[in-house]
Structure 1
Amino acid sequence: MTNKLSAPEQALIDRERELAEVQRIAKVGGVVVDLTAGFRNHRSPEYLAIHGLPPEAVNETHEDWVRRLHPDDRERAERQFLDLIKGTSDRYSAEYRIIRPNDGEVRWIAAEGRIDRDESGRAVRMVGAHIDITDRAIAREMLRESEQRFKAIADSAPVPIWVTRLDRTRSFANRAYCDFIGLPYEDALVFDWRSIIHPDDVAEVVRNSVAGEASLQPFVLEGRYRRADGQWRWIRSESQPRWDPAGRHIGFIGVAHDITTAKQAEIDLRNVNETLERLIAQRTAQLHSSESQLRAILETTNQYQGLLDLKGRLLYVNGTALAGIAAEPAQVLGALFWKTPWFEAAPEAASAIERAFRTARVGEIAKLDLELQLPAGTRHIDFSLRPVADTQGGVMAVLAEGIDSTERRRNEEALRQAQKMEAVGQLTGGVAHDFNNLLTIIRSAVDFLRRRDLPEERRRRYVDAISDTADRASKLTGQLLAFARRQPLSPVVFDVAAQIQSIANLIRPLVGSRVEIDVDTGSGPNYAIADVGQFETALVNLAVNGRDAMNGEGRLSIALRRVDEIPPVRSQPARPGEFVAISVTDSGSGIALTNLDVIFEPFFTTKEVGRGTGLGLSQAFGFAKQSGGEISVQSTLGEGATFTIYLPQAQAPEQTTAATLSRVDPAGGLGHRILVVEDNVEVGKFSTELLQDLGYTIKWAKSADEALAALAEDEFAFDLVFSDVIMPGKNGVELATIIRERYPGLPVVLTSGYSSVLAENAHQGFELVQKPYSVEAISRVLRRAISERRTRPTG
């Protein structure tokens, strides 16, 4: 006779099983230690799994636990445990590494426990949990190493670099910064930099600093600062605002460089120009005296200075310029300026200087930046050639001036590199976040599908979840490629007005009944050339963003017009030409001025978590740019926003036919013969098995050359070639082009997840299947390509 469990007993058993499952998934194991007579342990099954122990180790000894500890952590972890038992605390918390006996892996363990004590305070029992925190510990170590690398890079920079919080204290300062103010690192972080500004400059520098911070835009400060050795140095600092992943302003990052030499040169140069004008006006009466004074002035400047006659011959050169080429005056005086040693190793620079001289000789100032090979190495020189006028206003000579800007350029490049690394970090974090979310769904579904007792309905649900998640991952990569302008496009000439009307019907159910949609496409068709699918995606993204900005209620207007130029956008000049402009206007909350410059960046979003990926606008941006057009935005906070996509106009096509999609049986290969070209072994095995299951006869070639050899042996052995694009040697597009030339009746279908070859050259008329592809999609494309092939001659 069997005892039937009551409902409460069965429910208790079920809850215990669920708790055990939760502990297994979360990698949490329980442990109970009886301390009344030594150490008597009881380990839960989850504990045994975490520690890599067999079931019989449920009552392992204290010594067994000690032996399992990592040698570097053993003494510390055991001493911490024993001291706790002997003490008075009732909480136990520790982190240490173990070496699992079953596989030899090193795992990080976080141990938490409660100590029960008797009335005398003696420990009698500990109840605790062990949690596997290996992934967290590895991530923590990687973060620490990343911070150390950043500090090492910053400390190697020859210029001060710092990171500032909102309270104006530093969260980081590099070695050059500490050396300049003469303080150790910790003191430098809280040091008030305003205390070392020159009294004559402090008011202006502080005022400009406050204004620059309030603007939340990059800003520049210049002033004199007292260095640790007591010298006053002219410093130019450049600061950029910092934002956290949620778009909140968290401070500034800055870099400074010493411009004392350049500043003094600027002052000297100004004095030189003023003195030159005065001396030339007085030359008739005081020629010899003026030459002496002019020579004395020019010799005191740190800039390259030279005086040329109207034929370009060097009349005078100062000591700074001579030192730059390690030459004596006699080696260069009387020579044509552009044929002197300054330009011997740079023929193009010599030609540029000659052209600039001719400009200055007719009374205009000529400026140019040159890279010269001098004895000191490669130097960047900012040149200007200025006409020198006589008392009647005629040009009597040309003054050549040069400023060495090498160090300033290096400092600016260091700042740009720091900004680039911060942008790359934000993009990488966004990609990792979204893909980890998708991979979590796939991994969890796969784990459940491995269970034999899974009901069929649940199994179908998990399979559908994997399929849907793969589609979302494909869409995510497509949006990233679109922003990077690396998305393979299929541009065609299409009627923009008709397409907008079609998309408006698609948008209406997306935005909801409380949003009124107005469409104004003008009269007659307007043709553009672009990828229709990407155009549809961009317009839908703009409409959905407008809906969210209006909280699902308001007016959304879509307008089409022709324009003869793209207006200035994002510091770019206007671009003349024939374009169609598609504007999407919403009556929503508008966009803050501080966000207008960053809204097209990937993963930038002002929506709350879970309501957007931050890729919609970046997709529209990439599509417009890659199509030869542009996208602009106009908005006032609280008054809505207008996004405008500009696309190149096109002539009306002579004939247009509606594309039709035939429904194809996914398993309809009917024995057709396909040559598969794939260099990746795993992908090749999967592709051939998939196509065989669809009913095709397959031959697999692992390179383009191997495929061409198979075709040369018997060109009639195959009905179609199915090739990957990215392969060593010849890529898929090159292979397809050769096949089209040699075997014009043989169709070729290409496949790729991403290829710069495709992004830059499209796919040159060949069918393209984007990875990842479904069985339905690949079957439809292959059947269509085979059915539409031209009849080949037979022997």
Structure 2
Amino acid sequence: MKRRRQKSDALETAAVANMLPNLGASFDFSQILAVADALPIMIGFVDRTEHYRFINRALADWFERPRREMLGRTMREMLGDKTYESRRPLIEAAFAGERQWFAADFNHPTRGLLAVQADYVPQTNADGEVIGMILLIQDITEQRMAERALKESEARFRRIADSAPVMMWVTRLDRTRDFVNDVYVEFTGLSREEARLLDWRERIHPYDQERIIAESVAGEASLKRFTLEARYLRHDGEWRWLRSVSQPRFGADGALSGFIGAGSDVTEAKEAELELQRQVAERTAELSHAQDQLRQSQKMEALGQLTGGIAHDFNNLLTVVVGGLDLIAKEVTDERLLRYANNALAAAERGARLTGQLLAFSRVQRLEVKPTYVAPLIEEMRPLLRNVLGPGIEKEFDLDPRLMPVLADPTQLEVAVLNLAINARDAMPEGGTLTISSQRRRIGDDPELEPGTYIELSIADTGAGMAPEVLARAFEPFFTTKEVGKGTGLGLSMVYGMARQSGGGVRIESEPGVGTTVRLYFRRADRDGEVPASGGKTGHELRRSRGTATVLVIDDDDDVRQFIAASLEEYGHDVIEAADGVEGIDRFGACQPDLVVIDYVMPGLSGAEVAAHIVATKPDQPILFVSGYNETDAIRKVAPDANILAKPFRAAVLEDAVRAALARTTA
């Protein structure tokens, strides 16, 4: 094999030597060829007739042909007609004595479209006549692709940055900026070029200037991400609070090349925080004059905890804003950018509502209790919860797909879920799993909850858990195990008050080293009203779309009534119960059910009397009688179109009878 290769090299050397002018007996052409073959660029020589007279190995390999087959061929033959015609002006200029350097595309026969960088160098004899040209060629396809990708990436970054609702910039080491986005330019009121060169120290409020400059210098020196918050002068002369986050950027060699930053206007939030601090200070001054020294001491301590914890709760929500903006800076499609921006803005709004909740806590704020759908509400909170919890915590959702309205204040329910999620996150500093689930529960004998159907919403974590003595005081206002400044002790108290004021309750299960589960119970709403659910539909429309119905069950026997209710709920129906005829008539007027299931024999008002009242009110109302006797004729006199189901029966038979009764109204 080695001999064959040596023989091939010798033949190629001889072929190349024969194609070149006689260079003299003392000229060792094999050495020149060896040097040319060792170079990483493609080298060739073309004579005046445009025939290849010299080709190094790199050029032959690029054309994927043996060198001896290329020697003596013309440029047109090797390049092809189309490429040759595009090169003709350059070839003619080179033969006229003008060196030609260019970069162009080349349609390679097997590798497709490539990019090359070529240098046509005219060669002259002793008389100054051009006898040919040297070809120096490099394949720059990968370089071109990298340059194109970089340009596209920069263009996408500019589009994203200019679409962001916050100020964004990229600085050099001299504090001038390579890039500023549209919001940045708009805030300054300058041209883009002037904004790039603006010295921000001129725009800082005099009261904040010394502090911010010192914090900025320290932040840059740390070579870590740092945050600044101060008042800056906007182009219209108004002072605005800006919160900026800056991060160092490094060059390919690892050296610091500047910083990249984003800033958001937090004026409203800052003013609300300052106003809250002012109110807390006033309240503290009032309490200091109270005659009961013990009560004065307790309240001042509570207010001190509240003041120290405000920044914590508020910053939890502002962290969502920064997290959303950080995601925007990393993404490359406008659709996702809009979603992250909306999440960030929604978090800021929730932060304002949380502050209002804290202010109103001592006044026992009145809730706007109304029919609310738990599962859709949690679904809409998913982006916010994802940003609040961060990437270190796994999120699992197991929400009951059946829709049943409960009595709750949707805004306060969101705040409660958010508080519980934040508590869970703090209990899992090293990461873990947060599980949010919902399901129906029938509550019977309970000291706090009235018997009936409830929605149980549980938030479970795999965190540190609580000791028994801590668990016993978990709902006490201002009680917290967190260090000063890390929590107010109001979170669980507010959750408990919201649930109880809604007619429900809260339970906590916790074990050290295992985790904590908080279960919220909400009463079922007897009617939907016109409250829109997910997608703008009413609860009635959503149930219909899922094949469920609202059924009023009237039976004086508790065991039978509960069996019927449980069976219907198992098949996805919403059930409203009544223990006698009078309650049944009242419930019918309030809930307007799709179907009424009536026991024929009941004390007081009989099933026939109840049916007569219902038919008189709504003649086309579907009715299903259940009875252990044969009262068909009597039933037909009262409700000729009613369906009848004889006792005893199984759940599947009951479901078939319900479907048949409902089908008669839609046939």
Structure 1 or 2: larger helix share?
A: 2
Shorter chain as normaliser: what TM range? 0.3 to 0.5
- Higher RCO (C-alpha 8 Å, min separation 6): 2
After TM superposition, the score normalised by the length of structure 1 is: 0.33
Which structure would you say has the larger Rg? 2
> What is the TM-score with the length of structure 2 in the denominator?
0.39
